[in-house]
Amino acid sequence: MRYLPNSPEERRQMLETCGVESLEDLFAGLPPEVRLTRPLALGSGKSEYEILDYFRARGDENANGYASFLGAGVYRHYRPVLVDAVISRGEFLTSYTPYQAEISQGILTTIFEFQTMICQLTGMEVANASVYCGSTAVPESAMMAARITGRSRVLAARTLHPEYRDVLSTCVKNQGMPVEEITYDRDSGRLDLADLQSKLDDDVAVVIVQSPNFFGIVEDVNAAAELAHSRGALLVHVFTEAVSLGILEPASGADIVAGELQSFAMPPSFGGPYAGVIATREKYVRQMPGRLVGQTTDTRGNRAFCLTITTREQHIRREKATSNICTNQALVALMATVFMTVYGKEGLRELAKQNLAKAHYLATLVKPRFSGPFFNEFVAAPASRPPEDVNARLLDAKIIGGLALGRFYPELADSMLLCSTEMNTRDQMDAVAEAFTR
Amino acid sequence: MYPENFRYTKEHEWVRAEGDTGTVGITFHAQEELGDIVYVDPPKIGARVDVGSSLGSVESVKAVSDIYSPVSGEVVEVNEALADAPEKMNQDPHGEGWLARIKLSHPEECDELMTAAGYQAYAGAEK
Amino acid sequence: MIEKVRSHITQNEPLLFELSSPGKRGWQLPELDVPEVDAAAALGASAVRSGIADFPEVSEVEALRHFTRLSTWNYAIDLGLYPLGSCTMKYNPRVNEQAARVEGLAWAHPYQPEALSQGAMEILAALETVLEEITGMDAVTLQPAAGAHGELTGILLIRALLASRGDPRKKVLIPDSAHGTNPATAAMAGYTIQNIRSNERGMVDLESLVGSVNEDVAALMVTNPNTIGVFEQDIVKVAGILHAKGAQLYMDGANMNALVGIARPGDFGVDVMHLNLHKTFSTPHGGGGPGSGPVAVQRHLEPFLPVPRLQQRFGRWFFQYGRPQSIGRVKAFYGNFGVAVRALAYVLAHGGDGLRRATMDAVLNATYIRKRLEPHFELPNQAPTMHECVFSDARQAARGVKTGDIAKRLIDYGFHPYTVSFPMIVHGAMMIEPTETESKRELDLFVDAMISIAKEVEENPELVLKAPHSTRTTRVDEVAAARKPVLRWRRN
């Protein structure tokens, strides 16, 4: 097996040093009743070429060369070539968690840069080194707010990504934290602030609002924050489309920002791996889960970086940890760091503006259902035929249409969610319009 | 090393009673075991504590230690200096590194704790 | 003395923000083929940001150089051995990277039509089948994003099972040798934790266990082989004790590298376990993630698995959502698909026989290291070594040098340290796991380095105490970093 480096002679020498005759003897200590007595039924080992053929064949069985208008939490954006050039370097790809600072300054420095850039983008004072994804960042933020306020009720917008709400529910129900939904205004598609106000009381730990929300609508997060704060609750601002940060003013009233960074050069990859992030005010840093990289000096006084405030984490706190998170998403977060570096201050803004332009052009052809302002996604007003039919027509033209909303919102079963990014062309959008109206 | 007018617990806390107020902290031995203290999580002012209930925790880079109250009563003051300078607990654990002041509900509890000589022997044996 | 490759540690490279200058750019977008839109008009003036203050602006060349230079300050598997215990830092096969980049897989959107996702679903289903075969369990979920996440999922499954029996229980038993994620997980799932002692052989103390298992215990969380690298000899008995009282046996699969093809947890009484694809199955650590923590269960736990489940009808795959007993979702979408691709590629490369050989070489390598180091370092446990061995710094500590110091000195010899101070039941622990993808040459270099350090401890302890001497930074001030955390760059 080509990954096993020892020659037969080397194995023989090592067995001698170990004082045994054969490899089998090394397992003599195992109780016989636990031993597997047959080979694993997994076929023979394949060559590199056969392995690639297998995956190429699977890729061909997937949509290949289709245009797509799907968003809904996972977005198609160009991936600058520098991203893979950097993350494919063995020193990044195959390195371990940077517990030994002296030989990990490379990754530690990039994480420090990542944390800084996330703060700059979100307007928060401190950000962690990433968490698994946006969906798990939500319950983590809710639990963080519960720790800070000492309260237990959660209010979450109906326009928070439906799968994120599912994950929230699964995680916090074991923590004694009931979750209640806040509705949206049927005309604007925005959070119903009156509904929020009516559900707030002194037991609410946190209000969770996504912006742009699942319908692509930009929320007035600060208005929700004001209401939350008036009753002593915290406000979590969730985002799933990171590119929106290039143009949208951060919500100054947010206490915690929990986001998905997939748009920043992480391939859609059928759902993962992505990287989420949590950012907050400095006073809450010790309640925040996830790894943190801090700046310090070495014994010669030179600037250096290291993992810090690790006492929050599981390997020290054990049952009193802020979370049981062990991993951050270092390599995918690095993709985001390189993406943010390549685009930079002006490029990220331009990218956001292009996304805005593309979606708004599409909206001149396919009327939006909601009146609220939107970024690069919107819910199309119902067509003369069901969204599934519209999508079937589009597939003939090798275009994957928007998300038929009935699977998540029965009240919107006649509508679809359309996303248009810098990767969608005018021709593709014209084709969508045609499928809607013809 | 260990002031005569303090009393000590097996968990390495000390209490200095003056009338019905007790000042509480951790001992020299405790801070030595912990190493450089980086953060102190103090109890809340107004909190009612019993003997053995939590008075917050102390963190070094690699470990966290809970602090247990040697006495029962109400927390009336915490040492705010520790927020910016947790190292005071290392530098002067029996003086400037005090943790909290408690209004004692049962001042006689102090008599049941170890004396300086007793604690010195206990801490020495622990090593 | 030092033969290993060294990185470019003497060059300096500032932070991006220090390289940045207005007007530098590394990007270019195609021209818009649709009309530009006034952002303030579309979004409302107050919703539009005026700019991203202090966000960097650098050119393409500077960006590439920046990250390339930083990368040379990192140690990595591609450079040499990581003897880290319980981390299984094995070779990350490059063909796996190519597989994950196949366009139809890398660009697949989780909501694209199922008819156009059959390839991706086939991969997930194939990996589930592979992991069932390897673990001897009946069903697998690939949804959890990492080992700790898998642990939480596993404990939630047990919780759901017991609730369905009308028998919710309050306690989880955890050996004192366990990894910190175990108690953190149990607490997150709403259980109280009770510690179980290890006996003098370093294994779960049966008497302590019998005394602790009652009708209020939901589960025992065990790692096997345990964290000192020893197989729990009485594991079948342990399972029996738990099952007799209606409790479940959870196994932390972090040490599966000692068992693949040799023994299967499903065969020795485990009810539910998690796996770490980024350990046993070679997916890259990438500096700390992403990982993937699949959970494997026996039949009785299958109804509670997270939704959706992959099912097949008339040869076509579909996702099944209608599962009333499911614990719900633990993550959006279907798990870390990109990591699953890499793990499957790893298994395809080995086949059944190759996996078994890998396990045997992993145990051979660890045993070889143990034998060669035994004369020089204290070995607290004499049980047969599996894929990792644990020494104690007792002899060196007598000279004032601890495991952490020895680890730092090992860096000067060109190696990453072993796992320091874990497990907690061994004082001054030095946990070493070489994995099967290390050659005898690399192992000998490592052993020679350790022996040389042991000698230095006798003859020149200061050299060890002040190590490392040859790295880009000397020891960093972790105390200052924790007292006054500086977690971002700021303009002065």
Task: List the CATH number of the domain containing B50.
Answer: 2.40.50.100
Q: Is residue A10 part of a domain?
A: no
Q: How many CB atoms lie within 10 A of CB C277?
A: 27
pLDDT at C165: 96
Amino acid at B79: N
Q: Is residue A39 part of a domain?
A: no
The angle at the Cα of C93, spanning C87 to C94, to the nearest 5 degrees, equals 135
Q: Is residue B2 part of a domain?
A: no
pLDDT beyond 80 at C5: no
CA-based R_g, chain C, Å: 25
Query: What distance in Å separates residue B56's CA from the closest CA in chain A?
Result: 13
Are A291 and A331 contained in the same domain?
yes
Average pLDDT over residues C74-101: 95
Q: Assess B39–A contact: CB distance below 8 Å, yes or no.
A: yes
Nearest chain A alpha carbon to C19: A341
Q: Mean pLDDT lowest for which of A352-356, A420-424, B86-90, C11-15?
A: C11-15
Query: pTM for this one?
Result: 0.94
Q: Is residue A235 part of a domain?
A: yes
Domain ranges, residue A295:
81-338
Residue ending a domain, choose from A319, A338, A357? A338
Give me the DSSP letters along A176-209. Answer: T--EEEE-B-TTT-SB-HHHHHHH--TTEEEEEE
The count of structural domains within chain B is: 1
Q: How far apart are CA C394 and CA C406, in angstroms?
A: 12
Is B64's CB within 8 Å of A317's CB?
A: yes
* Candidate from A54, A104, A308 with C-beta closest to C74: A104
Is C479's CB within 8 Å of B39's CB?
A: no
Give first-to-last CA distance, chain A, whole Å.
59
Pairing assessment for the beta strands A153-157 and A179-182 based on DSSP bridges:
parallel
Task: List the CATH number of the domain containing A97.
Answer: 3.40.640.10
Nearest chain A alpha carbon to B41: A286
**Tokens 């599966």 correspond to what residue?**
C256
- The neighbours of chain C, by the rule of 3 or more Cβ pairs under 8 Å, are A, B
Q: In which band, very low, low, confident or very high, does the pLDDT at C2 lie, cut at 50, 70 and 90?
A: low
Q: Assess C53–B contact: CB distance below 8 Å, yes or no.
A: no
Give per-residue pLDDT as tens, B91-103: 999 999 999 999 9
Are A205 and A124 contained in the same domain?
yes
pLDDT beyond 70 at C208: yes
* Contact residues on chain A for B64, CB-CB shorter than 8 A: 311, 316-317, 320
* Contact residues on chain C for A174, CB-CB shorter than 8 A: 156, 159, 188-190
Q: How far apart are CA A25 and CA A29, in angstroms?
A: 8
Are A192 and A175 contained in the same domain?
yes
Task: List the CATH number of the domain containing A428.
Answer: 3.90.1150.10
Q: Which of B31, B33, B34, B36 to mutate to test the interface with C (most CBs of C within 10 A)?
A: B36
Q: Is residue A24 part of a domain?
A: no
- SS3 readout for B29-78: HHHHHHCCEEEEECCCCCCEECCCCEEEEEEECCCEEEEECCCCEEEEEE
Domain C359-478 has CATH 3.40.50.150: no
Domain ranges, residue B67:
7-126
DSSP-derived 3-state class of residue A305:
strand
Are A72 and A98 contained in the same domain?
no
Q: How far apart are CA C487 and CA A279, in angstroms?
A: 11
Q: Assess A392–C contact: CB distance below 8 Å, yes or no.
A: no
pLDDT at C427: 86
Strand intervals (E) in C367-475: 389-392, 419-420, 429-432
Which helix (H) or strand (E) element contains residue C313? strand C309-313
- Provide the chain C residues 460-479 that lie in CB contact (below 8 A) with chain B: 478-479
Q: How far apart are CA A143 and CA A151, in angstroms?
A: 10
Query: What distance in Å separates residue A328's CA from the closest CA in chain C?
Result: 5
pLDDT beyond 60 at C112: yes
* Candidate from C97, C180, C471 with C-beta closest to A315: C180
Q: Which of B38, B58, B61, B84 to mutate to test the interface with A (most CBs of A within 10 A)?
A: B61
- Where along chain C do its domains lie? 16-71, 95-348, 359-478
Are A217 and A304 contained in the same domain?
yes
- The neighbours of chain A, by the rule of 3 or more Cβ pairs under 8 Å, are B, C
pLDDT beyond 60 at C279: yes
Q: In which band, very low, low, confident or very high, does the pLDDT at C421 lie, cut at 50, 70 and 90?
A: confident
* Contact residues on chain B for C483, CB-CB shorter than 8 A: 38-39, 86-87
Nearest chain C alpha carbon to B87: C483
Q: Assess B83–A contact: CB distance below 8 Å, yes or no.
A: no
Are A395 and A267 contained in the same domain?
no
Q: Assess B59–C contact: CB distance below 8 Å, yes or no.
A: yes
pLDDT beyond 60 at C402: yes
Residue ending a domain, choose from A288, A315, A338? A338
Residue ending a domain, choose from A285, A313, A338? A338
Is C479's CB within 8 Å of B36's CB?
A: yes
Q: Is residue A210 part of a domain?
A: yes
> Which residues of chain A are modeled with pLDDT < 70?
311-327
* CATH class of residue range C95-348: alpha beta
Are A392 and A252 contained in the same domain?
no
Average pLDDT over residues C163-182: 90
Is A85's CB within 8 Å of C64's CB?
A: yes
Is C478's CB within 8 Å of B61's CB?
A: yes
Are A349 and A332 contained in the same domain?
no
pLDDT at A321: 54
Give first-to-last CA distance, chain C, whole Å.
45
Q: How far apart are CA A135 and CA A77, in angstroms?
A: 20
Q: Is residue B76 part of a domain?
A: yes
Is B63's CB within 8 Å of A316's CB?
A: yes
Residues of A at the B interface, defined by Cβ within 8 angstroms: 286, 309-311, 316-317, 320
Q: In which band, very low, low, confident or very high, does the pLDDT at B27 lie, cut at 50, 70 and 90?
A: very high
